Amino acid sequence: MTDRGLAGVGIDELVERIVGGDRLVLARALTMIERGEQTARALLKLVLPHTGRAWTVGVTGPPGAGKSTLLEALITCLRRRERQVGVLSVDPSSPINQGALLGDRLRMGRHYLDEGVFIRSMASRGMVGGLAPMALQSALLLDAAGFNDILIETMGVGQSEIAIARQADAVVLVLMPGAGDSIQLLKCGVMEIPDVIVVNKADHILAKRLLADVRSTLESVQRDQVPAVVQTVASTGDGIEQLATALAEHRDRLEHDGLELRRAQRLREAVVDAAAALVAEHVKASAAGDPEVHELLAAATDRRLDPGAAAARIAARELGRK
């Protein structure tokens, strides 16, 4: 334990406090996870038996679709239903080791003083193993801490964002009218991810067109369960009750049939992805000190070897060592 305020506190007591709802200890445990501290691993192991009760919801969509405002309204709605709500706000868009997010205090200010709401931002500060496993582990802690609903917000709709959202029990895709690329998104496979699609800013002049596009795209996608489509105006709260109801219906359906299977399948995917990311990081780190890799890179920069061939040889070298 490097944390002064918790110095001398044993790990069993930390777990007890987290499970008992101590927000301060929870916040510090999340920091331990982000920093990849050894204590975090031990802690996770001990909280595991206390997990599995929370309902996780991934919220994704292009920047500017109004996800933050929608989340604020959704939290208000869930609080009225007496749910305790944990929020993880994840931003994988920064490749640089100093991603400074807006402070959690500034975001979703309406709920900052509500004891039933806990909000945490995570950026990709060059974390070991990537953001997706970090988000998964953080969600486990929130689960153990007794939150009924855990909302995992991602900033964009890139591969890393979708990987994070997919880990959840329900995936919400938020779109808004008027952005030409929303329609492009619909055509790019993103439609196969969500359980609920929100057409936000439904009072916008182009909302009907987006709605029609969503519906026609859904008709062309082969899925066992067609996602619910909900229209909202997050800024006024219109449609938020319908969104909460659509989520509750999805939960009821899944709890009735397939929840454990879905959770196990997505967890396996997440673990294998995380393992692959760890191995990839190892390759990047070890490449720097390897003279043969150095020579292959020189051949690529001298145009003696094409970049794809150079990459294939470096990869084969790493795998060949096995």
Stretch that binds its own copies, among 6-14, 44-52, 204-212, 251-259 (CB under 8 A): 44-52
Compute how many residues bind its own copies; rule: CB under 8 A. 92
CB 24 within 8 A of CB 35: no
Q: Is 64 a binder of its own copies (CB under 8 A)?
A: yes
Helix (H, G, I), strand (E, B) or coil at 136: helix
Stretch that binds its own copies, among 40-48, 108-116, 201-209, 226-234 (CB under 8 A): 40-48
Give the span between the Cα atoms of 195 and 258, in whole angstroms.
14
CB of residue 179 to its own copies, shortest distance in Å: 3
Q: Which is nearer to its own copies, 176 or 240 (CB)?
A: 176
CB of residue 4 to its own copies, shortest distance in Å: 25
Binding residue for its own copies, selected from 122, 123, 145, 199, defined by CB under 8 A: 123
Q: Is 179 a binder of its own copies (CB under 8 A)?
A: yes
Stretch that binds its own copies, among 2-10, 43-51, 74-82, 239-247 (CB under 8 A): 43-51
Q: Which is nearer to its own copies, 155 or 170 (CB)?
A: 155
Helices first, then strands: H and E counts in the chain: 12, 7
Binding residue for its own copies, selected from 110, 187, 253, 262, defined by CB under 8 A: 187
Q: Is 292 a binder of its own copies (CB under 8 A)?
A: no
Q: Name all contacts of 25-30 with Cβ < 8 Å and 24+ positions apart.
A: 26/118, 26/141, 26/142, 26/145, 27/120, 28/3, 29/141, 30/120, 30/138, 30/141
DSSP string over 279-316: HHHHHHHHHTT-HHHHHHHHHHHTTSS-HHHHHHHHHH
